[in-house]
Structures are given as C-alpha cells and as structure tokens.
Amino acid sequence: MKILVVGAGGVGASFAPIAARRDFYEHVVFADYDEGRAQSVVDRYDGGTGRFSAAQVDASDTSAVAELCRQRGITHVLNAVDPRFVMPIFDGALDAGVTYLDMAMSLSHAHPDKPYELPGEKLGDAQFAQAGDWEKKGQLALVGIGVEPGLSDVFARYAQDHLFSHIDEAGVRDGANLVVSGYDFAPGFSIWTTIEECLNPPVVWEKGREWFTLPPFSEPEVFTFPEGIGPVECVHVEHEEVLLIPRWVECERATFKYGLGDEFIEVLKTLHKLGLDKTDPVTVRGQQVSPRDVVAACLPDPATLGPQMSGKTCAGTWVTGGRDGAQAVVWQTAINPVVALELLATETWSGTGVLGPEAFPPDPFLDLLTEYGSPWGMEERTPA
C-alpha cells in the first residue's frame, strides 16, 4: 500500500505520527500546495525511516492529482484538505485507478427557493452520482471516514447490529469544554469548513419524509456529555452523517447537533451579516480576494494550537430505540444463559458435576457478552 495524503494542515499532519507507529503500508507521500509544509511533516515524523516523503500538488487540479498518483505508484489517496477540493481529488483518484478516502464530502448548494425547507444539492450528492463509474472500474471510494463523519457512523451501524432491534433516532452530538489560552477566538478546526457547515441550512432525515432542511442553529437542546464535559447546548448543523446513516442504517430519524456556544454562534452570525462568510472574490485595492479566505488567514492555524489547548472534546452517536422487543430487566437476565450456552457449544467452558459460573474462566464470558451487545464496565472507588 502506497498512500498519498493530500493536505499537510492540521489533520494531514496529525496523520503522520499515528501512521508512523504502524507497518501496514509501504510508503506515505504527504502533498500540499506548499511543498515546504509537507516537507516539515516528513522531517518531524519520518524519523529517518524513509517511509515518508513530500510532494507539491494543486488539489484543485484533477490531472495533477492523477499524475502524482501515477508518478509515485500510489494505491490509496486520503483527502485531507477543505471540502471545496473534494471533487478534483475524487476525480483524480478515479482517473488514476486508485482507492479514495475522505473525511468530508462534496459541498452542498441550498435550494434556490426554499433553502430552509427543502435541500438543494446535498452533501455528497456529486460523489454518489458517480458511484456507478467507480463500480464499473472496480474501485472503492470510502467517503466520510473521519470522526464526524466516520467513527460516529460506525457507532450507528454497531447500534443497529448489536444493541437495538429498532432505532428511533441516530443523533450525532459533538461538544467540548476546550480552552485555547492566549486567544479570544481560535477554532480548533478549519474555519473555512466551520463557516460552511454552520451557516448552511442544516439537514434532518425522517422516515417517510426523507431529507429536509431547517434554519441554522435550530432546535437547541442541552445534551450532557461524559467525562466531565457536562451539559452543553447543541444546535442543528449541516453534516454528512445525516446524509450517510439512513442509507445503511434503519432508523426513524437522523440528526447532527453541535455544541457551538453562544459566543461562537454570534461570531458566525456577525461574519454572515458582514458578508465575510462569502467565498466569491471581491476586489480589494486591485486584488481579488475571497472574504472567507481572509477570515481564515486572520485566525491561528489549527495545526499549531495543540500546546495552548486544554480540556476535553467528545464526538459520539446518541441512539434511542428498542432492544429485542423485551424490557431491560428481563433482557439483562436472559442474555447470560445464551452466552453460557455458546461457550459450552464451543467447549470454551466445560466440566462435570454441579457448577456455578464462578467455576469457569470469566474472560471468555465477558468478551462474548460485549460481542452480544451488552458491554460491561468496571469502576474503582476508594472506601470512605
């Protein structure tokens, strides 16, 4: 496996130290419009192994992406740049005959007449429209495989396969109590992408109604996040999970809500009022510049914020529904003899006489219990 990572920003650079600890691939090429930035990732994380190298590429140029793949013998492309570059990289990977992965899908375009009721072109529509071309060539495009979308979608599928007999809502929730010292306002993710997803009409999916849209920041709810983060007000935000989960997971409703906070929302609203969220260039002293690019240039690079950041962040999927048609009290009793019978069938547990559960090794039982969709936990407490 030879991997091309397009983009050496926050996510692309973070890929390097994680991949450096694994040996499932032969080589990784980090490519960026600024080759020096890609080279800095290689210098920092390659450790003299020669498994990392750098290259220059224009992510907006389909032919350049395809040509780089061919030159370097690439087998897999990971798109780690802003979603405005999804389609050129996606098309370049198809042309080069390689596997494609991304963490954000092709951009949406609001409905021209009813933006807060009906979706226009949805996130990922441009990619799914080419699914037949990928199938004909025997190639795979694995889209939305970050944390959100990505891990959150895996959670939804796990819930369907192991935890619920029917799902009422698969609701992705994202919240944090992060603080970035030294900055009054410093988003931990690409502000270009953040503006896009937060100010676009958010999408909701409901069985029988399919996809529909709402005004930005709709239906606020207070969600209590784990690990000390606590209650955070979350609002609807446009996100890929709502476009992905209903395609493969049976549910009544799919949503995404983000804990932006009042200050963040007010900043976004102000940017919108001033037109600073726009992507079309305007003329400034004879130069053509995009207002959103100016905003991004004025804020710190998310890749550099690690040392100044403290607190916790949580991304997950909140699933509601029913389990096996049985209420919880009797279900939690019935699952255990089923697990025991499977262990006896495989002779993982065996014996003669009259024995209780304590007579058998516990590890196989607990492992299988988790596989059945009944995870167990342990909490250590200090005696008073």
What pLDDT, on the 0 to 100 scale, is given for residue 356? 87
Peptide bond preceding 149 in cis form (omega within 30 of 0): yes
Mean pLDDT of the chain: 91
Q: How far apart are CA 233 and CA 257, in angstroms?
A: 9
pLDDT digits (tens, 9 = 90+) for 179-222: 878 877 777 777 888 888 889 999 999 999 999 999 999 999 99
What pLDDT, on the 0 to 100 scale, is given for residue 124? 95
The length of the chain in residues reads 384
Q: How far apart are CA 290 and CA 350, in angstroms?
A: 71
Q: How far apart are CA 264 and CA 189, in angstroms?
A: 13
Least confident of 91-95, 119-123, 148-152: 148-152
Mean pLDDT score, 124-135? 95
CB-based contacts of 337, cutoff 8 Å, min separation 6: none
pLDDT digits (tens, 9 = 90+) for 98-121: 999 999 999 999 999 999 999 999
